[in-house]
Amino acid sequence: MTTVDPRADLSALTGPGGSGLRFTVGQYVALTKPRIIELLLITTIPVMFLAQGGVPDLLLVLVTLVGGTMSAGAANTLNCYLDRDIDAVMHRTSKRPLVTGTVSPRGALTFGLVLTVVSTLWLGLLVNWLSAWLALGALLFYVVGYTLLLKRRTAQNIVWGGAAGCMPVLIGWSAVTDSLSWSAFALFMVIFFWTPPHYWPLSMRYKDDYATAHVPMLPVVERFVVVAKQIVLYSWAMVAASLALVPLQRMGWVYLVAAVVSGGLFLAEAHRLLGRAKAGAGEDVLRPMRLFHFSITYLTVLFVGVALDPIWHLALPGLR
């Protein structure tokens, strides 16, 4: 969903000469792309509150998060293993552990497969098997569907491949109810439509990187104005999906305000990006990363609304 900065300072993890157990552990952790996992957890926890209609069992939340973290970490590790040739020629990813050699390909593959097995058993035995199969399905779709089949072949890679990043909302819902609902699928669609406007601005910023690696991200194969138009269309679909949750789950004003305000700001920023693209602005004026960074804020605000709405209803039912 978002990216880890490969240039982040790892000095705190290094031993003498960049060695030692602490450094090695840090390199394996880097393979899991913790920043991406943080974003996935932002969507999982609030959905558990919504499914419960209040505060869910906190032990269940913890167990689900641990299992989800391991599953997402496995997917990201296997992605790093499969994409190590691309990462080596892209400046943005040139310092990832498999590129620098601080982790061997065999070590990364083993780590990813072990995490896959452990996370599936963890969720199945400690949460429920529906959640376990959903997590495993998301992992396989990300690794096989996106990384192996879509990423290097089509400019629609992030559209369909991004479906894997939508699965945490289904996992969070199923963890509480051992079932799925239309409300969960509405939130699934919010993230599905959110992913292209989140990722394409990043691809615009690093267009040359993707071109060098022969990865056909949309900004590589289309003019920026075409990309910006697509971003606007997906942004409108995202906001519509977020508002569909209101009648489906009988959401109150807390969620409605969060969805309308954050969605309105998102649309404004997307249209500003389109306006700058139509004017033929260069990258320094286009500033696509403004939308990229705001997209993370949008998702956070929206899902805080998802979590707070049922709690507010329980506390003050007359104000729903």
Residues 205 and 124 in one domain: no
Whether the pLDDT of residue 9 is over 70: the answer is: no
- What secondary structure does DSSP assign to 1-18, as a single string? -----TTS--GGG--TTS
Residues 121 and 37 in one domain: yes
Q: Are residues 161 and 191 in the same domain?
A: no
Please tell me the predicted confidence (pLDDT) of residue 14. 41
Average pLDDT for residues 255-263, to the nearest whole number?
98
Note whether 29 and 168 are same-domain residues: yes
Residues 227, 306 share a domain: yes
Residue at which a domain ends, from 148, 176, 204: 176
Average pLDDT for residues 281-290, to the nearest whole number?
80
Say if 265 falls within a structural domain: yes
Look at residue 282 and tell me whether its pLDDT is greater than 80.
Answer: no
- Which tops the pLDDT comparison, 8 or 266? 266
CATH number of the domain at 55, please. 1.10.357.140
Whole-number pLDDT of residue 20: 85
Report the pLDDT value the prediction gives residue 137, as an integer from 0 to 100.
Answer: 96
CATH at 257: 1.20.120
| pLDDT at residue 37, as a whole number | 84
Mean pLDDT of all residues in 143-158: 93
> Do residues 38 and 80 lie in contact, with contact meaning Cβ atoms separated by under 8 Å?
no
Residue where one domain finishes, among candidates 125, 158, 176: 176
Residue 8: pLDDT band with limits 50, 70, 90: very low
Cα gap 257→295, rounded to integer Å: 17
Q: What is the pLDDT of residue 11?
A: 35
Q: What is the pLDDT of residue 2?
A: 40
Q: Looking at the structure, do residues 232 and 302 belong to the same domain, yes or no? A: yes
Q: Is residue 305 part of a domain?
A: yes
Q: Is 17 contained in some domain?
A: no
CA-closest candidate to residue 301, choices 250, 265, 259, 266: 259
Local confidence band at 286 (pLDDT 50, 70, 90 cut-offs): confident
**For residue 130, is it within any domain?**
yes
Neighbouring C-beta atoms of residue 165, cutoff 10 Å: 27
Alpha-carbon gap, residue 79 to 144, rounded angstroms? 9
pLDDT of residue 189: 97
Q: Which pLDDT band, with edges at 50, 70 and 90, does 272 fall under? A: very high
Please report whether residue 300 resides in a domain: yes
Domain assignment of residue 60, given as a range: 25-176
Residue 5 lies in a domain: no
Q: How confident is the model at residue 257 (pLDDT cuts 50, 70, 90)?
A: very high
Asked if the model's pLDDT at residue 61 lies above 70, the reply is yes
pLDDT at residue 100 greater than cutoff 80: yes
On whether the CB atoms of residues 249 and 183 are closer than 8 A, the answer is yes
Shared domain check, 150 and 117: yes
Give dist(CA 121, CA 124) in Å, integer.
5
**Number of domain units in the chain:** 2
**48 and 145 housed in the same domain:** yes
State how far the Cα of 307 lies from the Cα of 52, in Å rounded to an integer.
10
Q: Within this chain, do residues 51 and 169 fall inside the same structural domain, yes or no?
A: yes
- pLDDT per position as a tens digit, 160-209: 888 999 999 999 999 999 999 999 999 999 999 999 999 999 999 999 99
Query: Would you say residue 5 has pLDDT above 80?
Result: no
User: What distance in Å separates the CA atoms of residue 68 and residue 62, rounded to the nearest whole number?
Assistant: 10
Which residues contact residue 232 at a Cβ distance below 8 angstroms, ignoring those fewer than 6 apart? 267, 270, 271, 273, 274
What the block records as the tokens of 43 is 């969507």
Mean pLDDT along residues 37-46: 88
**Contact partners, residue 208, CB within 8 Å, separation at least 6:** none
Residues in the chain: 320
pLDDT band at 6 (very low <50, low <70, confident <90, very high): very low
Domain presence at residue 157 = yes
Q: Within this chain, do residues 60 and 47 fall inside the same structural domain, yes or no?
A: yes
Same domain, 318 and 201: yes
Residue 12's pLDDT band (cuts 50, 70, 90): very low
281: left (phi over 0), alpha (psi -120 to 50) or beta: beta
Question: Quick check: is 129 in a domain?
Answer: yes
> Across the chain, what does the average pLDDT equal?
90
Question: Same domain, yes or no, for 29 and 161?
Answer: yes
Residue after which a domain boundary falls, among 158, 176, 194: 176
Q: Which one of 36-40, 91-95, 242-246 scores highest in mean pLDDT? A: 242-246
